[in-house]
Amino acid sequence: MTIERYVIRLKIERVRELLSYGEMTLSEIAHQLNYRSVAHLSNQFKQITGMPVTDYKKASNYFRQSLDELG
């Protein structure tokens, strides 16, 4: 795994964490994590997790990987 890919996966795990709190909008999360746009974040999220953000938010239990499992 490249360093770039690892950093992207770390950011997506942070997105998952912030979504699980339910305190921020996706737009706020995208801004906080320096994404160019919400669309860019959404595309990366789907690419990494295999599901759209909306489906992830609807899930009753949020699935997150530990940082040790990312490598």
Q: How many residues does the chain have?
A: 71
Structural domain boundaries of the chain? Answer: 3-69
Q: What is the pTM (predicted TM-score) of this model?
A: 0.79
- C-beta pairs of 6-14 under 8 Å, 24+ apart in sequence: 6/70, 6/71, 8/44, 8/48, 9/48, 9/70, 10/67, 10/70, 11/44, 12/44, 12/45, 12/48, 12/49, 13/64, 13/65, 13/67, 13/70
- Residue-wise pLDDT for 16-37, tens only, equals 999 988 899 999 999 999 999 9
In which band, very low, low, confident or very high, does the pLDDT at 60 lie, cut at 50, 70 and 90? low
> Domain 3-69 carries which CATH code?
1.10.10.60
